[in-house]
Structure 1
Amino acid sequence: MATRATRPATQLAAFVLHHYDWSESSLILDLFTREQGRQAVVAKGAKRPYSQMRAVLLPFQRLQVSLGKPPKAEAGEGAGEVQTLRAAEWAGGQAMLTGAALFSGFYLNELLMKLLARGDPHPALFDLYAQTLPALASADENDTQAALRAFEVLLLKAIGLLPDLGLVTLTQEDIRLDQHYAIRSEAGVTAPRAGDAALSGPQLIGLQAALEHGSLAALQQACAPALPELKAILRGLLHYHLGSPVLRTRQVMLDVQSLDRQLDR
């Protein structure tokens, strides 16, 4: 009797965004892969002390992984839902993030998990994520904040939620150098209302030029002069599309900061 040929494993570049306990010995991983976007995979036996994958499946480290469909999926039941992690190897990267940089890294991971659909590849965004991680550990807080704002901008653009920053959205008129503008989720680039965070015309034009140029360093540089305004604007856009006022990682960071202030009294 003929037997079904084993389906070959798929080789992917990946980062671990999050993991969940699946059993006493195994994990469910949320992976951000370059070739297939976000994927849910089961890492059988990964929690065992002698597992080769245990020391590899860490956040913020670039991996080379081999995935294969579980038996039921190969038979046509639940295909495309959860794949099996057959192998994982470290593919080079940086030292583990610590302190505030760790919170920033998990913040980016939470954004990716909540805003990217499973199975929707974004290879350019994957590369930009990999380039952003080292900047989170910068000793210069402004550099770190510029890196965060630039990635937020790029993520919104990648999923089609960022308007053209060189035009007034409703009229399609060019941005004027002598005006200030708000960016609102329901209206795009528009005239600011009282209390709105606003960017100057030159700042918006600089951001759009950096986006069109495609350089992450250029975009980070364009973000630097308007960090407080951009933070407020991007937070409003992200919260609107997430449907949540506070992300989990941000709430944890606020709780830690509050605890630190209490201990310093």
Structure 2
Amino acid sequence: MKDRILHEPSYVLHRHDWSESSLVLEVFTRHHGRIALIAKGAKRPSSNFRSVLLPMQPLRLSWSGKEEVRTLKSAEWGGGHVMPHGERLLSGYYLNELVMRLMAREDPHPDAFDAYVLAMHALQGEGAKEAVSGLRAFEILALQALGHLPDLQTQAHGGALQPHGAYRLTAEGGLQPEWEPEQTALSGEQWQGLDHALQAAAPFEALQHTWSTLPGSARAALRGQLKALLHYHCGMQNLRTRHITHTLQQL
């Protein structure tokens, strides 16, 4: 990485205190991946950073240094949207936790970053379906960008999918034939539809549309299989934001 980076498209994923006046930021950037920055003096009332370094906001960041934790030099709001609220705020934190858990530092994935930007825009929309389909689209595209998404045209042990067959996505084996399709499976035709969306010129929007056209049982099955696949690659049974959402839903 260069010693000095200027005006890099970025989002703040997480922040914690470094000293009485400074913060350490975990930042998702388009061209440099996930990096750590120290924002010196960011907690002071007079700091220009105070009103800018917020999560879920498009930023243009400049920094310098060669160490693991680099020094933030400037931060500008990129404009475009405001922070989501309510359940969508939790969804935004869920996206941030996924990036923190899935992506190693300084391992850039521009396609995943672009999908993250679109997912954040979806959380700003008025329709609940748009927000949910945006989350699923990001999950699928992030898995693909990281090389964790199996081939959606082929069975795990070889051979093309049968359009009317039933298949379940597994972390270690890819698409496996499912003998209880009413519980956990999508049809071969539905998996092929998702694969076709991934090949589209605008895959995020294509995945949103494909998700919205699936019947409710297929959406539930796909959500559960994506959840299992993500947790497998995150190395944990449950994400903190999912646990919080589940707890709030029980109140």
Once the two structures are superposed, the pairs formed by residues 225-264 of structure 1 within 5 Å of their partners are: 225=214, 226-258=218-250, 261=251
Matched, 1:103 2:90: yes
Identical residues among aligned pairs (%): 44
Match of 1:39 among 35, 38, 44: 35
Matched, 1:141 2:128: yes
Alpha-carbon distance, 1:194 to partner: 4.4
Distance 1:92 1:120 in 2: 26
Distance 1:181 1:8 in 2: 49
Letter in 1 for 2:91: S
Letter in 2 for 1:219: L
Matched, 1:222 2:218: no
Distance 2:14 2:179 in 1: 39
Q: Which residue of 2 aligns with 1:185?
A: 171
Distance 2:5 2:99 in 1: 25
Q: Which residue of 1 aligns with 2:76?
A: 89
**Which 10-residue stretch deviates more, 21-30 or 215-224?**
215-224
Match of 1:174 among 145, 160, 164: 160
8 Å contact from structure 2 (residues 82, 124) kept in 1: no
8 Å contact from structure 1 (residues 182, 198) kept in 2: yes
8 Å contact from structure 1 (residues 145, 227) kept in 2: no
The verdict on how the C-alpha distance between 1:186 and 1:231 changes in structure 2, with shifts beyond 3 A counting, is same
Letter in 2 for 1:222: T
C-alpha distance after superposition, 1:207-229 (max 9, x if no partner): 00010114211111112213211
Letter in 2 for 1:200: S
Alpha-carbon distance, 1:245 to partner: 1.6
The verdict on how the C-alpha distance between 1:155 and 1:8 changes in structure 2, with shifts beyond 3 A counting, is closer
Q: What is the RMSD computed on CA atoms of the aligned residues? A: 1.5
Matched, 1:59 2:55: yes
Letter in 2 for 1:220: Q
Matched, 1:127 2:119: no
Matched, 1:113 2:103: no
**Which 10-residue stretch deviates more, 35-44 or 161-170?**
161-170
**Which 10-residue stretch deviates more, 84-93 or 8-17?**
8-17
C-alpha distance after superposition, 1:18-61 (max 9, x if no partner): 10111111100000001100000000000111100110001111
Letter in 2 for 1:187: G
Structure 1 unaligned blocks of 5 or more: 1-6, 74-78
Distance 1:8 1:163 in 2: 37
C-alpha distance after superposition, 1:239-264 (max 9, x if no partner): 11222121011111222223xx3xxx
Match of 1:23 among 16, 19, 25: 19
Secondary structure at the counterpart of residue 98 of structure 1: coil
C-alpha distance after superposition, 1:169-206 (max 9, x if no partner): 221x1111111100101110111254861111111011
Q: Given the two structures, how large is their TM-score scaled by the length of structure 2?
A: 0.92
The verdict on how the C-alpha distance between 1:193 and 1:85 changes in structure 2, with shifts beyond 3 A counting, is farther
Q: Which residue of 2 aligns with 1:12?
A: 8
Q: Given the two structures, how large is their TM-score scaled by the length of structure 1?
A: 0.87
Structure 2 unaligned blocks of 5 or more: none
8 Å contact from structure 1 (residues 13, 62) kept in 2: yes
Distance 2:188 2:49 in 1: 50
8 Å contact from structure 1 (residues 149, 230) kept in 2: no
Distance 1:15 1:49 in 2: 22
Superposition misfits of 4+ residues, deviation over 4 angstroms: 193-196
Letter in 2 for 1:221: H
Alpha-carbon distance, 1:9 to partner: 4.5
